[in-house]
A and B are shown apart, each in its own frame.
Chain A
Amino acid sequence: DAGVTQSPTHLIKTRGQHVTLRCSPISGHKSVSWYQQVLGQGPQFIFQYYEKEERGRGNFPDRFSARQFPNYSSELNVNALLLGDSALYLCASSPQGTESYNSPLHFGNGTRLTVT
């Protein structure tokens, strides 16, 4: 089975531009989460979506938005890019559906965004 797939793998943008990152979860997984990992730090939670509804939002500005499609894939959008948005953006999926804390999130390889 295919794991979590993200595209593109690398991206270079200029300050002020807009970017869209894409994620396809593992087949059968209905929940998708997005994380930002700045160099030298641990990942920071941005969003979680389940059944196309936002279930959680981290401490990120409104320039960051996301959505989930009927096939459970997801997009992360960032407007008015800043130099500080340069990071590895990780997508994770899980089956969800149960109130369980022992289900690990399955991560993709990430999209490395560089803002110049």
Chain B
Amino acid sequence: AQKITQTQPGMFVQEKEAVTLDCTYDTSDQSYGLFWYKQPSSGEMIFLIYQGSYDEQNATEGRYSLNFQKARKSANLVISASQLGDSAMYFCAMRGGDGFGNEKLTFGTGTRLTIIP
């Protein structure tokens, strides 16, 4: 079984500051993928960044980077230079390697990020 833990229910950050959203995971799979999604109040889940279990370098996508520490089973999202539009729910999710075509994502409970002007 896979499990994602997000221990920060809510965070408040000043605009233009960097913010780190925590995510730890548990799995017995050797191959897996870790994803971060952003969910604005509209409800849509917006894909932000991906990290594979065998990737040696941390993933980066624009202002988003993923701090991947495999031994500690953590995959924290770092947002640099936060903007007001970053205010949303953020979900960490995992996709396991238990067979072809498995697209089941296991999500954490999310972190509500609020950017303060």
Contact = CB atoms under 8 A, between A and B. Distances in A.
B40 to A, nearest CB: 10
A105 B43 contact: no
Interface in A65-116: 88, 90, 92, 94, 96, 99, 101-102, 104-110, 112
B47 A102 contact: no
B101 A102 contact: no
B20 interface: no
A24 interface: no
Interface string B85-117: 000000101011100111111111110000000
Given A31-B101, A50-B101, A96-B101, A109 B107 contact: no
A112 B32 contact: no
Contact of B52 (A31, A99, A101, A105): A101
Given A42-B91, A55-B101, A101 B32 contact: yes
Contact of A109 (B44, B93, B102): B44
A28 interface: no
Nearest to B98: A56
Interface residues of B, number: 31
A95 to B, nearest CB: 11
A109 B52 contact: no
Contacts of A106: 47
Contacts of B37: 107
B69 interface: no
Contact of B45 (A31, A43, A44): A43
A58 interface: yes
Interface of A: 31, 33, 35, 40-45, 48, 50, 55-56, 58, 88, 90, 92, 94, 96, 99, 101-102, 104-110, 112
20 contacts: A31-B101, A42-B93, A42-B107, A43-B91, A44-B107, A45-B106, A56-B104, A88-B43, A92-B45, A96-B103, A99-B101, A101-B33, A101-B52, A101-B53, A104-B47, A104-B50, A105-B103, A107-B45, A107-B47, A109-B44
